Amino acid sequence: MKKRIVAVLLAGVMIISMMGCTAKTDSQPSQTNAEANDAGAAGDGEAYVRAEDDDGFKPLEEKVTIKIGKSENASDTYENGDTSGDNYVLRWFEEQLNIDYEYEWTAVGAEAYNQKSALVISTGDLPDVMTVTEPQMRQLVKAGLVADLTEAYNTFASDQLKEAYDSTNGIALASATFDGKLMAMPNINPGADGIPLLYVRGDWMEELGLEEPETLDDICNIVKAFKEKKGSMGLVASKSIVSVGNNMYGLDALFALYQSYPEMWVADDSGNITYGSIKPETRTALENIAKLVAEGIIDKDFAVKDSDQCNELVTSGQGGIFFGSWWNLQWPLSDMWKSDGDVKWNIYAVPLDEEGIYNVHMMNPSTTYLVVRKDYPHLEAVIKTMNMQRCVDSNQKRIPLPEEDSYQSWTMFPFSVLMTTYDDKEKIAIGLNSVIDGEITYDELNVGLQPLYDSWEYVKENGIQQAAQQTQANGYCWYKGADAIVQAENHMNRVYAATYAQSETMDKKWATLEKLEDETFLQIILGEKPIEEFDKFVEQWKSLGGDEITAELQEMVSSK
């Protein structure tokens, strides 16, 4: 049985930039390129020169070494004598760029890596390169332990890498910039992951003659009809009420209906930073959501259910409506089609507010940061590696497989940095729509999207049940979820945080404040406490460290 090929950053899914990722392979670099490498070798803060024939992928004239603190994925597998530190993926990068990648230390899994990186930071004995959290980055910058990457990035960053950072509207690079200096290379998460969408059993809607929902009242009417006619439960939800990121079975969209953005730092009417969970709009949202629970619109047992339990309710046919992520058709819903091809799921960006707008919070574009130790002399090697990772991430350049069924994953790249674009998922749908609508031909479609179109065609010709049974439905599912966001673009209000940073006091007091918030919100929504409890919560939150944290974040933003 063939091993499943894990695509490079979900290969075949990423949109391909039209700019290109052409790697030069000249064996004799020009004098200008040699001079550029010499300038790069001078190290942190020096001027760099980029050769005219260097597009950011030209190999270094002389081989250099990068020693890395590496986060490993427990699910990665190696064959033919390969190991984590010596495998065909690393060797390909080394051949392309003339760089040796050595793992100074590794840790398997996020928890182990966090512990190891914290220990290393405390000693100040850093590898050449490692990934850190945002607070750790600030700690290292404050201690003067990491290199200024400004000149190296400006000189050697490829067009595609710059394009990826540009997709975040400047948020990513700004988060790593201190006193005008770029002190780290942020990762980029797909923004679509933070956009909740309403999933509704379309076959039930058709059977009962129900109209597509737009407002909260429409959603309530669908829930009531499903409960009465199909014996279904209310809107399936979990105890994770809000999360500014992937949040299956959350209630984020209901809060946003009232322009409430809990767990997010937003600007108040005066332009100052405030915490979304303590604003009056959140009080209004809690009061109204509590009514939905009391009326049975929202499953009354949501507070004791996790996402796995919700998955079981939905896939077993007990629940026909929930808020999820753009990728939920692919999992867990696609398995339903293997036994019942008549199941249909519709996806909507609702509820709309009184002005017909769908309000949605946008997740942090960057959550991890690649830092380089202060005295590392080959910063151009780091940037060129980032260029190549972005190029391969987007499937514009492919790493040859030793065997047809060889395992490959982006986690095997030299640096543990996810480099997609913030609007990546929207581009998926736009690309496929251009072929579906006849605007371009299949051959003109970027090669990375062709497998998704193939899946769409397979479903169209053979039906969703056969596609699911033959594992041919994934591309179709990805497209349909991403397209739901694209179709709502004209009436979507994307709300970004005033800051995604974390302050020093949050390390000490945030756990207490989170617990207070979670308990209070659940008690109000479940009707165990009156809405007036929210006012007490705000005062407690402010006195227990909330005001101090707010002041710190305001200072951090003002000093940018």
Q: Which DSSP string do the residues of 300-340 spell out, in sequence order?
A: TTGGG--HHHHHHHHHTTS--EEEE-TTTIIIIIHHHHHH-
Q: What is the pLDDT of residue 453?
A: 97
- Region of poorest pLDDT, from 15-19, 217-221, 258-262, 522-526: 15-19
Q: Is the pLDDT of residue 15 over 50?
A: no
Q: What is the pLDDT of residue 560?
A: 67
Q: What is the DSSP letter of 236?
A: B
Report the percent of the chain where pLDDT is more than 70: 91
Which residue shows structure tokens 């005008």?
180
Q: Which of 147-151, 417-421, 504-508 has the highest mean pLDDT?
A: 147-151
390 near 158, Cβ under 8 Å? yes
The whole-angstrom separation of Cα 294 and Cα 64 is 65
Q: What is the DSSP letter of 81?
A: T
Q: What is the pLDDT of residue 274?
A: 97
Q: Is the pLDDT of residue 160 over 50?
A: yes
* 197-201 and 345-348 beta bridge pairing: antiparallel
| pLDDT mean across residues, the chain | 91
- Which 3 state secondary structure label does DSSP give 83? strand
Q: In terms of pLDDT, which residue wins out, 257 or 404?
A: 257
Q: In terms of pLDDT, which residue wins out, 360 or 16?
A: 360
The whole-angstrom separation of Cα 129 and Cα 373 is 6
Q: Is the pLDDT of residue 247 over 90?
A: no
Q: What is the pLDDT of residue 13?
A: 37
Beta bridge partners of 298: 235
The whole-angstrom separation of Cα 497 and Cα 264 is 6
- Which 3 state secondary structure label does DSSP give 181? strand
CB-based contacts of 1: which residues, under 8 Å, 6+ apart?
none
Mean pLDDT of 387-402: 90
Beta bridge partners of 185: 370
277 near 263, Cβ under 8 Å? yes
Q: DSSP for 373-396?
A: BTT-S-HHHHHHHHHHHHHHHTTS
The whole-angstrom separation of Cα 32 and Cα 211 is 66
316 near 237, Cβ under 8 Å? no
For 316, counting Cβ atoms within 10 Å of its Cβ (0-12 exposed, 13-18 middle, 19+ buried), the class is exposed
The whole-angstrom separation of Cα 445 and Cα 450 is 7
Q: Is the pLDDT of residue 116 over 90?
A: yes
Q: What is the DSSP letter of 105?
A: E
For residue 166, what is the enclosing H or E element?
A: helix 159-166
Buried/exposed code over 145-174 (b: 16+ C-beta within 10 A; e: otherwise): bbbbbbbbbebbbbebbbbbbebbeebbbb
- Region of poorest pLDDT, from 37-51, 338-352, 505-519, 530-544: 37-51
Q: What is the pLDDT of residue 31?
A: 34
Q: What is the pLDDT of residue 67?
A: 98
Q: What is the pLDDT of residue 447?
A: 82
Which residue shows structure tokens 């060129």?
384
Mean pLDDT of 10-38: 39
Q: What is the pLDDT of residues 55-100, one digit of tens each?
A: 999 999 999 999 999 999 888 999 999 999 999 999 999 999 999 9
Asked whether the bond before 351 is cis by omega within 30 degrees of 0, the reply is: yes
Beta bridge partners of 361: 495
Q: Is the pLDDT of residue 410 over 70?
A: yes
Largest CA distance in the chain: 78
pLDDT band at 32 (very low <50, low <70, confident <90, very high): very low
Count the helix, strand and coil residues of the chain and give each as a percent rounded to the nearest 5: 45, 10, 40
CB-based contacts of 248: which residues, under 8 Å, 6+ apart?
238, 307, 310, 322, 323, 324, 325, 328
Q: Is the pLDDT of residue 36 over 50?
A: no
> From the DSSP assignment, how many helices (H) and strands (E) are in the chain?
21, 14
Q: Is the pLDDT of residue 8 over 50?
A: no
The whole-angstrom separation of Cα 420 and Cα 14 is 8
- Which 3 state secondary structure label does DSSP give 107? strand
The whole-angstrom separation of Cα 287 and Cα 534 is 10
Q: What is the pLDDT of residue 219?
A: 98
420 near 9, Cβ under 8 Å? yes
Q: At what angle do helices 88-97 and 379-393 cross, to 10 degrees?
A: 120
Q: What is the pLDDT of residue 130?
A: 98
Q: What is the pLDDT of residue 397?
A: 85
Q: What is the pTM of this model?
A: 0.89
